[in-house]
């Protein structure tokens, strides 16, 4: 018997069940709490997770909603059991945890954290400006994929990165349409550069800088390159989920929700494409 057996039972979800749930559910409908320490969270975490160390939960934070389903995880499941007891005592009725913790998680993880892009988003005043900034993020990522397409020699890789660049162009078109809906006017011919509040920048989705990424990947093997691209897109998805959660403006929140949905779709396609490419090499 372990000390866990001394406490009321808490529903435990398998890695497969949680992975399926996160992939299919609206992030606004639940709370995913990482109860490890902040330094652990920064190294890696599940996309869309909030950092809530055990000590912070014990302080009785009111940021989390007792009425929403709440999913807890830690490294091996021990801290999340303790966290669950805290929330149950506070009246949370829909609490579950990741069985065995995140240490053997087989799915997507956010593997680097950069707050600069989030900070820049918070400096903007309107949802329309948020859309312009997001458009530039997509454009810079398209430029990255186009540059990789032009430098790799493998014909299959060229096709893959041409497709990825095309996907980013589609994302830009989606954001442009969102901007038109928010501003209630047609986009100018020179969108978005003709718009007074447009601020050009060199950031990629997820917070990296385009020039840094181009220099960094020069020595990558094919496997490392694909792993990096998947990580970049997963971080972008996590980034927009975080912005959606932090948004104080309803229109901005809706924008980030729509873009995060696009990113999730893109991640799924990207993972499938990379798996197909790697299988072709075997």
Catalytic residues: 74
**Residue 231 half-sphere exposure toward CB, CA atoms < 13 A:** 16
Q: Please give the Cα distance from 161 to 167 (Å, whole number).
A: 10
Is residue 187 within 8 A of residue 216, CB to CB? The reply is no
Q: How far apart are CA 84 and CA 80, in angstroms?
A: 6
261 Cα distance to chain centroid: 10
CB count within 10 Å of CB 274 equals 18
207 conformational bin, left if phi > 0, alpha if psi -120 to 50, beta if neither:
left
Cα of first residue to Cα of last residue in the chain, in angstroms, is 46
Strand partners, 72: 33, 97
The residues that bridge with 242 in the sheet, in sequence order, are none
């Amino acid at each position: 018997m372990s000390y866990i057996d001394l406490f009321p039972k808490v529903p435990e979800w398998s890695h497969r069940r949680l992975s399926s749930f996160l992939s299919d559910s609206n992030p606004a409908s639940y709370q995913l709490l990482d109860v490890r320490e902040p330094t652990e969270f920064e190294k890696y975490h599940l996309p869309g997770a909030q950092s809530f160390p055990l000590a912070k939960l014990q302080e009785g934070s009111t940021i989390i909603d007792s009425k929403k389903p709440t999913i807890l995880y830690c490294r091996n499941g021990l801290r999340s059991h303790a966290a669950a007891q805290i929330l149950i005592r506070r009246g949370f009725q829909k609490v579950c945890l990741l069985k065995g913790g995140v240490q053997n998680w087989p799915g997507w993880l956010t593997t680097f954290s950069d707050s600069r892009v989030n900070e820049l988003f918070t400096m903007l005043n309107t949802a329309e400006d948020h859309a312009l900034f997001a458009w530039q993020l997509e454009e810079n990522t398209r430029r990255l994929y186009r540059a990789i397409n032009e430098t790799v020699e493998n014909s299959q890789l060229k096709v893959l990165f041409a497709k990825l660049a095309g996907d980013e162009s589609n994302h830009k078109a989606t954001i442009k349409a969102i901007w038109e809906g928010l501003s209630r006017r047609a986009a100018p011919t020179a969108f978005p550069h003709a718009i007074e509040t447009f601020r050009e920048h060199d950031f990629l989705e997820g917070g990296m800088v385009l020039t840094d990424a181009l220099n960094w990947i020069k020595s990558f093997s094919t496997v490392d390159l694909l792993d990096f691209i998947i990580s970049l897109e997963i971080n972008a998805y996590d980034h927009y989920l975080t912005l959606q959660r932090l948004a104080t403006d309803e229109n901005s929140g809706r924008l980030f929700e729509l873009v995060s949905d696009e990113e999730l779709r893109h991640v799924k396609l990207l993972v499938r494409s990379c798996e197909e490419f790697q299988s072709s090499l075997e």
